[in-house]
Structure 1
Amino acid sequence: MPELSTPKQKISALIITYNEMGYIEKCIDSVSFADEIIVVDSYSTDGTYEHLLAHPKVKVIQNPFENFTAQKSFTLKQAKNDWVLFLDADEVVTQKLQNEITATINDPEACEAYWFYRKFMFQNTPLNFSGWQTDKNHRLFRKSKVRFTDKKLVHETLEVDGCSGILKEKLTHYCYKDYEDYKGKMLKYGQLKAKEDFYKEKHFNYVLMTVKPLWKFFNHYIIRFGFLDGKKGIKICYLNALGVLERFRELKRLEKKNELAYYLVMP
């Protein structure tokens, strides 16, 4: 009697976007092997949404951006399949990684979630150090076995009911388009981290506002060999430190706003 073959596992590719023309095309092409591609766009103004509407393999939905965790939680709910590949719009899956993903989800002994290491690209050249060499994120997982924790608004964290593995092949991440784009990204991250701190009742501190950005630059540029990335390393490490500074500036603004609101409602 012939053996019954195990049905091939289906996978949904999920992406969130905001003004990603020039990058989203490569990302979509790299996940064309997925059975479903869903993009949740937070009202792009550069034609990203209109471009994706015309794409035959993409289902695009618009949803207002509140924070990264809320947006990714909303996007996860849209997936039809249990296996999910979650990418940022400036990330690309190589052919070798595609093959590893397909083999992994069809492995009967697969974990419930997988970490990806990433290869960072400064425009079109590799960024080998500057603090990113050990960076990894959950990108492949079973929808039924995970949830994004609501304790973080940025650098969202996945809670996994089961084991996590690590894939060998790296995800390519085009982290740096140009100076203003990366600066804007770091400032936005800093502001969201400040909101996290504010909700946790952490207080603004002038000493930490001075020390933490300096430490961030020193740690990434010296201890984590950012100087080996040359001028690229200086830019990346400086902007990462600027994001930390913005975190404290925004926390100070939030505290002042809260104090003002308190005095206005006092009898």
Structure 2
Amino acid sequence: MSYPKTKISALVITYNEMGYIEKCIESITFADEIIVVDSYSTDGTYEYLKIHPKVKVIQHPFANFTAQKSFALKQATNDWVLFLDADEVVPRKLREEIVETVNGNTEHVAFWFYRKFMFKNSVLNFSGWQTDKNYRLFRKSKAKFSDKKIVHETLNVDGTSGILKEKLTHYCYKSYEDYKSKMLKYGRLKAKEAFYRENRFNYFSLIFKPAWKFFHHYILRLGILDGKKGITISYLNALGDLERYRELKKLEKKNELAYYLVMP
């Protein structure tokens, strides 16, 4: 007896992703539907997606990563969801493993993917990313994004999880300015997250947390073995931490000013 093929919805969120999104979309055309939620790109991303024959693109304002991904998840019509970042690519062997997995009566409801990090077109072997893994394949009915984090979102899974053998390719570094912009954006979002949790700014964190981040990635996580690439990645990750605490200080000052303005 033959059974019907399990359908997969591929989901991506985008904002100004030309140079990344083309490879990503090409690698997921095996999915039964591709839905992209775009937060009003200005670099041609939306226009590219709009004319792509296999893509349904929806424009939706960006509040934070968790909210945007939760909105995208609601658009999927199939239970099995493959959720990628716009700078990620699914290699052929991983595509085959995904299809075999969802059609194999698996008991797991979600799967972790290990990622191979690319610095431009060369592999970043160390610098803290060698053991990185993320949820990328899961059943919509058994998972949802936690509203407790607004960046580096967390997936809450109701059931058991597995790990796929093949790695996802992550084109994390296109150029210095592009990666720097990402790290600063993440830093500001993490500051908002900390502010909402009522975490207070202190100068110890401002000075020592970025230094520790660099030391951790470059020395403890062997970024030194990645040569100049390791220095660059470790520095920019530390810069993101520095921005986090600078932004937290600004948010607290704004909040204090607003408080004094409304006092009788």
Shared topology, TM-score over 0.5? yes
Q: Distance in 1 between matches of 2:85 and 2:98?
A: 17
For structure 2, list consecutive stretches of 5 or more residues without a partner in the other structure: none
Q: Which amino acid aligns with 2:135?
A: H
In structure 1, the residue matched to 2:170 is: 173
Cα shift at 1:38? 0.4
1:212 maps to which of 206, 209, 214: 209
The 4+ residue runs of structure 1 with deviation greater than 3 A are none
Does 2:83 match 1:86? yes
Task: Give SS of 2:29's match.
Answer: coil
Alignment partner of 1:140: what SS?
A: strand
Match of 2:221?
224
Hey, what's the Cα distance between the residues in 1 that align with 2:125 and 2:107? 30
- Displacement after TM superposition at 1:6 (Å): 2.0
**2:117 corresponds to:** 120
| Superposition deviation, residue 149 in structure 1 | 0.2
Partner of 2:7: 10
1:64-100 deviation per Cα after TM superposition (whole angstroms, max 9, x unaligned)? 1110000000000000000000001110000000000
| Residues 153, 192 of structure 1: 8 Å contact kept | yes
Give the one of 205, 222, 232 matched to 1:235. 232
What is the aligned counterpart of 2:263 among 244, 252, 266?
266
RMSD of the TM alignment (CA)?
Answer: 0.6
Structure 1 equivalent of residue 158 of structure 2: 161
In structure 2, distance between residues paired with 1:24 and 1:247:
27
> Which of 117, 133, 138 is residue 136 of structure 1 equivalent to?
133
TM-score by length of 1: 0.98
Residue identity matched to 1:60: V
Aligned residue identity for 1:79 = A
State how far apart, in whole Å, the 2-side matches of 1:20 and 1:119 are. Answer: 19
Instruction: Choose from 58, 66, 81 the match for 1:69.
Output: 66
| Normalised TM-score (structure 2) | 0.99
Match of 2:40 among 31, 40, 43: 43
Is 1:54 the equivalent of 2:51?
Answer: yes
Amino acid in structure 2 at the alignment position of 1:75: A
Shift of 1:110: 3.5
Identity %: 77
Paired with 2:201 and 2:106, the residues of 1 have a C-alpha distance of: 48
Deviation at 1:7, TM superposition (A): 1.5
Q: How do 1:192-207 residues align onto structure 2 when only pairs under 5 Å count?
A: 192-207=189-204
15-24 or 139-148, which moves further after superposition? 15-24
Q: Which runs of 5+ in 1 are unaligned?
A: none
Give SS of 2:147's match.
Answer: coil
Distance in 2 between the 1:22 and 1:182 partners?
13
Q: Give 1:109 shift.
A: 2.6
Q: Give 2:242's aligned residue.
A: 245
In 1, the alpha carbon distance for the partners of 2:240 and 2:52 equals: 35
Q: Deviations over 1:185-221 (max 9, x none)?
A: 0001011111111111100010111111000000000
- d(CA) in 2 for partners of 1:198, 1:20: 29
Per-residue displacement from partner, 1:24-74 (whole Å, max 9, x unpaired)?
111111001000000110111000000111101000000111100000000
Report the residue type matching 1:43 in the other structure: Y
